[in-house]
Amino acid sequence: MGYKYVVVVVAVVFSAVTAIPGAASAQAGISSQNIAVRDLLIANQENLLNTYRCLFNTDTGLVPGGCADPDTINPAAAPQNPTQNDLDIRDQLIQNQEALLNTYRCQHAIDTQLVPGGCPTPNSAPTGNTQNGRQTDTYTAIATHTDLCAIRTDETIVCWDHDGNVRTDTPDGTYTAVIIGGLGNDQCAIRTDATIVCWDDNGNVRTDTPNGTYTAISSGGGDLCAIRTDETIVCWDDNVNVLADTPDGTYTAISTSPWHSCAIRTDATFVCWGKFSGNVDGSYTAISAGNGHSCAIRTDATIACWGYNDSGRTDAPDGTYTAIVTGSGHSCAIRTDATIACWGTIFDYQRNAPAGVS
């Protein structure tokens, strides 16, 4: 079922539910129609929840069949003699689904016009230290998923939630790289001694973190990949089991997504593996694996993209660039004049990059 189609069906069925007299209160002679309409809404809202989960790589473990080939949720068979309790249970489930849908909408800036009262306005960064009203903290790296984490120039880590609240459960120490979504939905970082540390949403440091020393780290779909200090690649699943399908050779950069991974070899060529792998000849300095497509910066600073090309996500613009990132259905890059270009889109807000120098 397509994403837009699911939204329309949910809206129509929700209108039908609210149009039934006494939809949320006790009534005499509850009919099977009262139950059937609610069951249809429940099924369609669950399909929409799963669409959001796969689209934004959030709570994907809850998707029946997995995001590669998700099962379609169909309405349950209505009881022959429904009771008020049957009705109440369904109304509560509908409310819970709607609350979770609105959480996803606000976290990922999608369908926000459907959120009653609108979404809270997030702060763009933690307050940090200020002087004369200006933020004085500076950063060298940043990672985002549902929360955000950044490495300060003093090499310590700060994380903050969607509402801009600084989290107090990040581990002490100094770090060179950070990602969110590794080994499930944990945060992981490379310490300045080149070892890896991971911690959960409650600040509990995992004791099963991979041993060894590393220079780069990347996460996608719960898996975690890293480049060892000997320049070889290793990847782990949610349970820290080493994955056997990583390529041999030596590498300088790596990028993972829920569907595939890509890495640049030490000879500047690259390799991709997984569902949307593909390969493009040439030599490259940077690479990013997205959801169904990938892009890389050639050694002449131009961009090459390949893979699934709905909405022009692989139609890279002309020009020269220094950095690139790919998302669900779009890509953005920093030009050599320090301005930003974005192309291919699922939602209009992702297309319009801010003006000016970044």
Q: What is the pLDDT of residue 11?
A: 46
Q: Which ranges constitute the DSSP H helices of 57-202?
A: 84-108
The pTM of this model reads: 0.59
Print pLDDT tens along the chain (358 aa): 444 434 444 444 444 444 444 444 334 567 888 888 999 999 999 999 999 888 877 778 888 988 888 889 998 887 888 888 888 888 888 988 998 898 888 877 788 888 888 876 544 445 555 454 444 567 778 776 666 788 888 899 888 876 677 888 888 899 999 887 766 567 889 999 999 998 887 778 888 888 899 999 998 766 789 999 999 999 988 777 888 788 999 999 999 887 788 999 999 999 988 876 677 889 999 999 887 889 999 999 999 998 888 778 888 889 999 988 887 777 888 888 888 788 886 444 444 445 554 4
Q: Please classify residue 270 by burial: count the beta carbons closer than 10 Å to its beta carbon, then call 0-12 exposed, 13-18 middle and 19+ buried.
A: buried
Tokens 């910066």 label which residue?
297
Looking at the DSSP bridge assignments, the partners of residue 198 are: 188
**CA 179 centroid distance within chain:** 12
Q: Which ranges constitute the DSSP H helices of 57-176?
A: 84-108
Which domains are assigned to the chain?
3-114 (no CATH), 141-351 (2.130.10.30)
- C-alpha pair distances (Å), 92 with each of 20, 25, 34, 188: 16, 12, 14, 37
- C-alpha pair distances (Å), 132 with each of 139, 165, 166: 19, 21, 21
